[in-house]
Amino acid sequence: MFEPNSYLTTIFYRLREVGFNLSMREYFSAKDAIQEGWGTKNKEDFKKLLRLLWCNSWEQQKHLALIFDKTFGESEKTKETIPNFSTKTQKNANYDQSDSDSSTSISPNTTIEFSSTEITKPTTEELSPLPIANPQLIQEYQDDAEFYTHYPISRRFMVYSWRYLRRPIADGVRDVLDIKMTVEEATKQGFFLKPVYRRREKNHAHLLILVDQEGSMTPFHDFSRDLVETAKYESSIERVDVAYFHNVPAEYVYQDSFLTDKISLETLLNQCDSETRALIVSDGGAARGYRQRARVSATTEVIWEIKQHTNLVAWLNPVPKKRWDNTTASIISHLVSMFPMDQEGLKQAILTLQR
């Protein structure tokens, strides 16, 4: 049975080297299609699948055909070389086995007479294996870091980072000893009468998280879920509001990750004040490499509406910064502080919200 998965990674990397704008989304789409039975009949069926998923023009189809044929050509050379070597080895093994069988078939009553004939030692050429070509294996890529960056930030690091998002107000129980005021009171009175206590500070921070959901953000759902859960349940932040959207926060956003329970963006923003921190989590079109004027315009309008209520706004982008160039995200990064979705990026985002 034809197995296309053994060729998929090599073809994927080679296409990216020649300029194909392919992301991990396209790679896993091909994997899912193969798992469902598409492109598994033969080479042509596999080529047709990749052409449908990864090519946007006739020029790209020609490049795909060249790289596709080259990859399979290298694989066929390898298969031809290795069986020839194994066949010769098997023949030598059978020959040795037949000699061994014939030598062991002598009956016990047979007497062996040694002649005076000189036994000549076989030459090295007769015993040496025939020269074979070194098999040329398909080039394998050792740097598969992209396949393992699915979880750039651990849940534990998120919990630790949220400690720095604070809005302390001293309105708690009056049970904190104020040493400085106690000393001052004793100095004024000339003797110590009683200690002075001050109120305990509470974290009255309000955090609004807007999370891009589905589409190109699907591989990062685990991250966004942990980000929301740690902020809501494992931090000292007093109030955390979460809203979900697809691509752009439009007139309506959603209160659940399945995008079913909608609420107007205006209603959500009216609950914010100048001390509210707004964190947007989205790829901004960088995952697919798109640059769309309509998305830039819609995002600009939403950011403007948010800044009418608070200037404490930051953006977390799950796509590495080197892939923002020539995408919608590169333009949006000039409108709002945007940081990559890694440990340093989360630190900088929280510092931006804390100012």
C-alpha to C-alpha distance for 349 and 38, rounded to whole angstroms: 42
Q: Which residue blocks in 218-292 are alpha helix, DSSP H?
A: 221-233, 265-269
The answer to whether the CB of 352 falls within 8 A of the CB of 164 is: no
- Tokens 């946007």 map to which residue? 56
Judge whether residue 105 has pLDDT over 50.
Answer: no
The answer to whether the CB of 2 falls within 8 A of the CB of 43 is: yes
As a whole-number percent, the residues of the chain with pLDDT over 70 amount to: 79
Task: Indicate the pLDDT class of residue 147, thresholds 50, 70 and 90.
Answer: very low
Say what the pTM is: 0.57
Q: What is the pLDDT of residue 68?
A: 86
Q: Which of the 8 DSSP states describes residue 4?
A: T
Q: What is the pLDDT of residues 30-79, one digit of tens each?
A: 888 888 888 788 888 888 888 888 888 888 888 888 888 888 888 777 66
The answer to whether the CB of 317 falls within 8 A of the CB of 341 is: yes
Query: Between residues 90 and 310, which one has the greater pLDDT?
Result: 310
Q: What is the pLDDT of residues 275-334, one digit of tens each?
A: 999 999 999 999 988 888 999 999 999 999 999 999 999 999 999 999 999 999 999 999
Between 88-102, 241-255, 262-276, the lowest mean confidence (pLDDT) is in: 88-102
Judge whether residue 202 has pLDDT over 50.
Answer: yes
Give the start-end residues of each E strand in 36-89.
Answer: none
Between 137-141, 243-247, 275-279, the lowest mean confidence (pLDDT) is in: 137-141
Which amino acid is located at 326 in the chain? N
The residues, ordered by sequence, that sit 6+ positions from 41 with a Cβ below 8 Å of its Cβ are: 2
Q: What is the pLDDT of residue 62?
A: 85
How high does pLDDT run on average in the chain?
A: 81
The answer to whether the CB of 16 falls within 8 A of the CB of 22 is: yes
Dihedral sign from CA coordinates of 145, 146, 149, 150: negative
The answer to whether the CB of 164 falls within 8 A of the CB of 205 is: no
Residues paired with residue 198 on neighbouring β-strands, in sequence order: 176
Using CB atoms within 10 A of its CB, is residue 130 exposed (0-12), middle (13-18) or buried (19+)? Answer: exposed
Which amino acid is located at 35 in the chain? Q
Which amino acid is located at 94 in the chain? N
Judge whether residue 141 has pLDDT over 70.
Answer: no
The answer to whether the CB of 177 falls within 8 A of the CB of 197 is: yes
Q: From the CB of residue 174, how many other CB atoms can be counted at a distance below 10 Å?
A: 11
Q: Which of the 8 DSSP states describes residue 214?
A: S
Instruction: Give the residue among 161, 183, 177 at the shortest CA–CA distance from 234.
Output: 161
Q: What is the pLDDT of residue 284?
A: 93
- Dig out the tokens for 139 from the structure: 């080039």
Between 166-170, 206-210, 253-257, 330-334, the lowest mean confidence (pLDDT) is in: 166-170
Judge whether residue 81 has pLDDT over 80.
Answer: no
The residues, ordered by sequence, that sit 6+ positions from 246 with a Cβ below 8 Å of its Cβ are: 212, 213, 214, 215, 259
**What distance, in Å, lies between the first and last C-alpha atoms of the chain?**
61
Q: From the CB of residue 92, how many other CB atoms can be counted at a distance below 10 Å?
A: 13
Pairing of β 239-245 and β 313-317 = unpaired
C-alpha to C-alpha distance for 230 and 235, rounded to whole angstroms: 6
